[in-house]
Structure 1
Amino acid sequence: MQRRHAFATLAAAALFAIGATGAHAQGAKVKVGFMLPYTGTYAALGNAIENGFRLYVQEQGGKLGGREIEFVKVDDESDPAKATDNVNKLIKRDSVDVIVGTVHSGVAMAMAKAAKDSGTLLIVPNAGADAVTGPMCAPNIFRSSFSNWQPAYAMGEVAAKRGHKKAITITWKYAAGDESVNGFKEAFEKNGGQVVKQLTLPFPNVEFQALLTEIAAAKPDAVYSFFAGGGAVKFVKDYAGAGLNKNIPLYGPGFLTDGTLEAQGDAAQGMLTTLHYADGLNTPRDNAFRLAYAKAYKLQPDVYAVQGYDAAQMLGIGLGAVKGDVSKKAEFAAAIEKAKIDSPRGAFTISKAHNPVQDIYLRKVDGKVNQVSGVAVKGLADPARGCRM
């Protein structure tokens, strides 16, 4: 009798312990690992992404899916050589539930591989590498930004519809540049145009003079270029300095003129670019976001802040559906796939490959803003070539 009673007591204690562990897990914080550039060329982008993410969490009272959020940070230094070690610090050392990162496509590719191998949730808030939602696609990998193909393809349609027949492309010879010019070429040629030359120079070389001479001699109807940051500043100024902008319009994705207009000055005025965000959207959702961001950080938000904010929204949708239980990966993914994300950029959905299906805006440089001048392509979905999911 005593033995039976002792057994029952032990069984009850074991059940209580299991219940307590489950309750503790449910009440524990969700650990979010930011793997972003906090130093170097892209530091401002990394900070804007984190600011946007934190703003959404603050608006939800510090909780997503009923669970408090704890943050861990790693500076990825935009260095692909350190990427695997850095992402493994978050997965193995810090035991994060979800990783948010990054800006540099080369780093993002290493992160995607680690996430795929370990099953850790990954939300990419910038890097546009087509492969992240192409051959590297996985049920636990999501993107809140764009693929390199999307703004480029939209600009190819715009250029063709503006009556241009012959175009030259120019970019740095690296993955993002290649993917961008290929997206432009695909749409431009599908709509009756022809890319007559594809000019490249090594990254991050900014000696453009010989290539500008080549463009002047070829006399195309239009030029499509993919550069960002300091390279974008110098290219746009050199292009205008050579007098080419008077007769041959220069087009590009929004990165050509985002965060660079102050330095580009008069050289950029009137330029058209395509991107999934623009100045002057003037919707209640965007106005509220811009005001809240400016109040919180004493800064004006940009596309990177929007992408961080929407990464948090996507995490909130997934966690809400599984009541905070991050182990329910299939239900988490299904909720995001069904959702309409109420973004400052305009509502968007997520494709089966987990890339945004979104409007791409046509923007015109006016003073120091990329003013919206219409929608270049509505609801553009990346083709997700190579995705098997």
Structure 2
Amino acid sequence: MHAPFNRRQILAQGAALMGTAASGLLVPQHVLAQSGKIRVGFMLPYTGTFAQLGVAIENGVRMAINEQGGKLGGREIEWFKVDDESEPAKAIENANKLVQRDKVDVLIGTVHSGVQMGIHRVARESGVLNLIPNAGVHIATRAQCAPNVFRTSFTNSQPTMALGEAMVKRGHKKAVWISWKYAAGDEAYEGFKESYTKAGGTIVKELGLPFPNVEFQALLTEIAALKPDAVACFFAGGGAAKFMKDYAAAGLKDKIPLYGSGFLTEGVIEAAGPAAEGVLSTLHYGDGIETKRNNEFRLNYAKTFKMQPDVYAVQGYDTGLLLIQGANAVKGDLSNKAALYKAMEGATIDSPRGKWTMSKAHNPVQDIYLRQVVGKENKVIGVAAKALSDSGAGCRL
């Protein structure tokens, strides 16, 4: 944290710099850094079930910064990339490649909550600025929150905190929950259980399988036997597409309505085909948000990358917007951490998802939408929760 300089200190520092220049000595490192490039590292999945998510996030970040002339606070950028492979066991090693080897000023990552915990450890120990563009693991903005860690996406329980009440309102009072058994799935269930039971619903059974296992048949047979009013789930990426296809193939689609945390249908509607039609979900973004901001974003993204954007692209875009606000506030001097963090904490992000602000624990305070798959879109059919904030339980910033 930097204390503010008084006039005497500024004059003294100026004189010192002039003296070192005249004597041929090196100027302070932070002054030299100002003339160099800002080093930005992506640690994202570029292979495996989450590969398309990583690409969309990177696209979004680059698009936001390119719209501002391709610079941060007036400084050019040097980019670095590491494929995290969605492999938690390699997370610390991979994060250190960017922090220690590449000396990045900013580490953007990642998707997988287990991998994020490795990044989180490195970020807390090194002090590098970490922007989380997806992974919703609770502890990162709860008990282990840190001044240099900001999330632009959600906590794992935020979308499902809005799901339970929406399901009960639609008459589904007995539900089965199914997800991968890992951090993201467990925490998504936490949000669903709290909201669904509070609204008067009963969870008949909780089902799970190890990540990234996609052998769903035995569990689908069990769901058919239980005959709940509806099924709620958490899956994402290629596994989500397969789950929807298998759900339909098992004959459940037209008998038991399927709901999910919105990642169930993000970026995989075409892969899932007709099996996705009609699936309902809650998320902080939807294709049918009819605002000028969202329409312009979608058009520009499609023109730039020859594909339609999804929530991952939006989260990447908003990561870029947050970094731009912070960097501009300190005129590119990311070593001025107190001012950098203050600017980011106080930011209002004018996002395609709608404007959102940063909570005290560095997590978005945002609207959660109810969406339904119609054709190839996640159409917004209502707002499930307004300005929903994660509890930030245990955070001391």
Which TM bucket (shorter chain)? Answer: over 0.9
| Inter-partner Cα distance in structure 1 for 2:239 and 2:44 | 21
CA contact (8 A) 2:50 2:238 kept: no
Deviation at 1:21, TM superposition (A): 5.7
Deviation at 1:125, TM superposition (A): 0.8
Q: 1:90 to 1:270 in 2, by over 3 A?
A: same
Q: Superposition RMSD on alpha carbons, in Å?
A: 2.0
* Deviation by residue 1:260-302 (Cα, 9 ceiling, x = unmatched): 2223222222111111111121211111112222222222222
Q: 1:203 to 1:72 in 2, by over 3 A?
A: closer
Matched, 1:385 2:383: no
| Inter-partner Cα distance in structure 1 for 2:195 and 2:265 | 21
CA contact (8 A) 2:61 2:318 kept: yes
CA contact (8 A) 2:17 2:27 kept: no
* Deviation by residue 1:210-243 (Cα, 9 ceiling, x = unmatched): 3223222322222111122333223222322333
CA contact (8 A) 1:172 1:226 kept: yes
Q: 1:11 to 1:232 in 2, by over 3 A?
A: closer
Q: 1:164 to 1:95 in 2, by over 3 A?
A: same
1:5 corresponds in structure 2 to none
Letter in 2 for 1:48: A
| Inter-partner Cα distance in structure 2 for 1:236 and 1:183 | 22
Aligned match for 1:358, one of 356, 361, 366: 366
Percent identity (aligned): 63
Deviation at 1:209, TM superposition (A): 2.9
Residues 6-85 of structure 1 aligned to structure 2 (within 5 Å): 13-14=19-20, 16=22, 17=25, 23-85=31-93
Matched, 1:371 2:379: yes
* Deviation by residue 1:346-385 (Cα, 9 ceiling, x = unmatched): 1110111111111111111111111111111111111122
| Inter-partner Cα distance in structure 2 for 1:309 and 1:224 | 29
Q: Secondary structure at the match of 2:175?
A: strand
| Inter-partner Cα distance in structure 2 for 1:20 and 1:221 | 66
Letter in 2 for 1:265: G
| Inter-partner Cα distance in structure 2 for 1:208 and 1:367 | 25
2:146 corresponds in structure 1 to 138
Q: Which runs of 5+ in 2 are unaligned?
A: 1-14
Q: Secondary structure at the match of 1:246?
A: coil
1:185 corresponds in structure 2 to 193
Q: Which moved more, 1:294-303 or 1:116-125?
A: 294-303
* Deviation by residue 1:294-334 (Cα, 9 ceiling, x = unmatched): 22222222211111111111111111222222122222122
**Equivalent residues, number:** 381
| Inter-partner Cα distance in structure 2 for 1:383 and 1:265 | 37
1:318 corresponds in structure 2 to 326
Q: Which moved more, 1:324-333 or 1:81-90?
A: 324-333
CA contact (8 A) 2:231 2:256 kept: yes
Aligned match for 2:263, one of 255, 258, 274: 255
Q: 1:254 to 1:22 in 2, by over 3 A?
A: closer
Q: Which moved more, 1:192-201 or 1:233-242?
A: 233-242
TM-score by length of 2: 0.90
CA contact (8 A) 2:133 2:319 kept: yes
Q: 1:64 to 1:235 in 2, by over 3 A?
A: same
Q: Secondary structure at the match of 1:84?
A: helix
Matched, 1:330 2:334: no
1:304 corresponds in structure 2 to 312
TM-score by length of 1: 0.92
Matched, 1:290 2:298: yes
Q: Which moved more, 1:107-116 or 1:59-68?
A: 59-68
| Inter-partner Cα distance in structure 1 for 2:328 and 2:41 | 19
CA contact (8 A) 2:30 2:335 kept: no
Aligned match for 1:114, one of 122, 125, 137: 122
Q: Secondary structure at the match of 2:162?
A: helix
CA contact (8 A) 1:181 1:224 kept: no
Greater Rg by CA: 1
| Inter-partner Cα distance in structure 2 for 1:331 and 1:54 | 24
Aligned match for 2:276, one of 258, 261, 268: 268
Deviation at 1:22, TM superposition (A): 5.3
CA contact (8 A) 1:139 1:330 kept: no
Q: Secondary structure at the match of 1:382?
A: coil
CA contact (8 A) 2:49 2:239 kept: no
| Inter-partner Cα distance in structure 2 for 1:93 and 1:103 | 22
| Inter-partner Cα distance in structure 2 for 1:10 and 1:334 | 29
| Inter-partner Cα distance in structure 2 for 1:279 and 1:370 | 5
1:96 corresponds in structure 2 to 104
Deviation at 1:386, TM superposition (A): 2.9
Letter in 1 for 2:345: E
